[in-house]
Amino acid sequence: MTAQAIVKFDNVIKKFGEFTAVEKVDFEIGRGEFLAIMGSSGCGKTTTLRMLAGLEDPTHGNIYLDGERVNGKATWNRDTPMVWQSLALFPFLTVRENVEFSLKMRGVGRAERAERADKWLEKMQITEFAKRNISQLSGGQRQRVALARALVTEPKILLLDEPLSALDAHLKVRMQAVLSNLQKDLGITFVYVTHSMSEAFSMADRVVIMSRGRIEQIGTPVEIYREPHNRFVAEFLGSANIFDGVIEGAASDGAGRRVNFEGGSTFISESELNGRPQGDAVTFIVSAENMHLSPADSGQEGVLATVVGEEFVGATAMVFLETETGQELKVQKSHDELTKLDSHPGSKLV
């Protein structure tokens, strides 16, 4: 475990009977990091989080928390509070009583409880609601109570399981900013489970992408976006283009070789081809922003495609094209570049 890490999953497997929910998960979480675990329903992200919280025990492998192996250690003996989608607030207690709850459980005296609760009510801007019941609060206010309740013990790490998924779109974006700023101000490690790419990519320092119990890729949002490691990640992101090709020519000391794919070919460097033999099937993934576009008569090699639509994305546009073999391509370019290319639906580009 590296010195900067607060959590280490060491080859962790979780089985429920014969079913493997989490398969050989191996990664570290840095101290003070905002890490998102993302993937579609059933991929094992909640189970991974629950093992860190001590709500499930790994079937194999080890989990380390702040240098200590915590397999088998009960959840109430770990300092890993969790904020749930349902929030699990106590409906018959006031806001203040909810926030004070875990301090009371730990035997903290009345005066200190009040003082610490005051601090967190204020930080979360809910002081004015302290005497209200949970049922008298809006969705966003409840979120703030749940955060105050989890943070009042000043843990080193906070676990969040889809905390925003019940909110409407507008509030969700506002709460993302609240969470993101809070995490930076406090310097606490956040581990955030979500199926939403926009949530994960807008808040997290690093993202873990899971599918069928396995980690597909770990990296910063920019790294993952620019260089999805495999077909699954590329398809999940939805903004990358996938080409299946066959290598032409035998490996040599040359700069690279041609790879032929349906509807065109391209030159790939020898270092990327990694000495693979002639005739080998290869897949290459190119993010929308790394694709080049040229007029069809420019003499550039590549694949001929027709523009079928464009979508405005702030300072850029996403251009949708279709190749002659029916493959859909996505290319992200600045408006200036597209004007120069005279790109419009029906344009033929390579």
Contact residues for ligand ATP, defined by CB under 6 A? 16, 19, 21, 39, 41-47, 195
Contact 288, 306 (CB under 8 A): no
Kindly tell me which of 19 and 312 has the beta carbon lying closer to ligand ATP.
19
As given in the structure block, the two tokens for residue 129 are 């609601």
Question: Minimum Å distance from CB 309 to ligand ATP?
Answer: 31
Question: Minimum Å distance from CB 61 to ligand ATP?
Answer: 16
Kindly tell me which of 14 and 330 has the beta carbon lying closer to ligand ATP.
14
Kindly tell me which of 44 and 245 has the beta carbon lying closer to ligand ATP.
44
Spatial neighbors of 346 by CB under 8 A, at least 6 apart, are 306, 307
Contact 72, 51 (CB under 8 A): no
Question: Minimum Å distance from CB 57 to ligand ATP?
Answer: 12
Nearest-10 crossing angle of helices 169-186, 139-151: 20
Angle of CA points 249, 250, 251, to nearest 5°? 125
Question: Minimum Å distance from CB 84 to ligand ATP?
Answer: 11
Q: Strand 34-38 vs strand 189-194: parallel, antiparallel, or unpaired? A: parallel
User: How far is Cα 179 from Cα 147, in angstroms, rounded to an integer?
Assistant: 9
Question: Minimum Å distance from CB 214 to ligand ATP?
Answer: 12
Kindly tell me which of 16 and 267 has the beta carbon lying closer to ligand ATP.
16
- CB-based closest residue to ligand ATP: 46
Question: Minimum Å distance from CB 37 to ligand ATP?
Answer: 8
Q: Percent helix, strand and coil across the chain, each rounded to 5?
A: 30, 35, 35
User: How far is Cα 98 from Cα 83, in angstroms, rounded to an integer?
Assistant: 13
From 89, 84, 91, select the one nearest 164 (Cα to Cα): 84
Kindly tell me which of 38 and 259 has the beta carbon lying closer to ligand ATP.
38
Kindly tell me which of 17 and 238 has the beta carbon lying closer to ligand ATP.
17
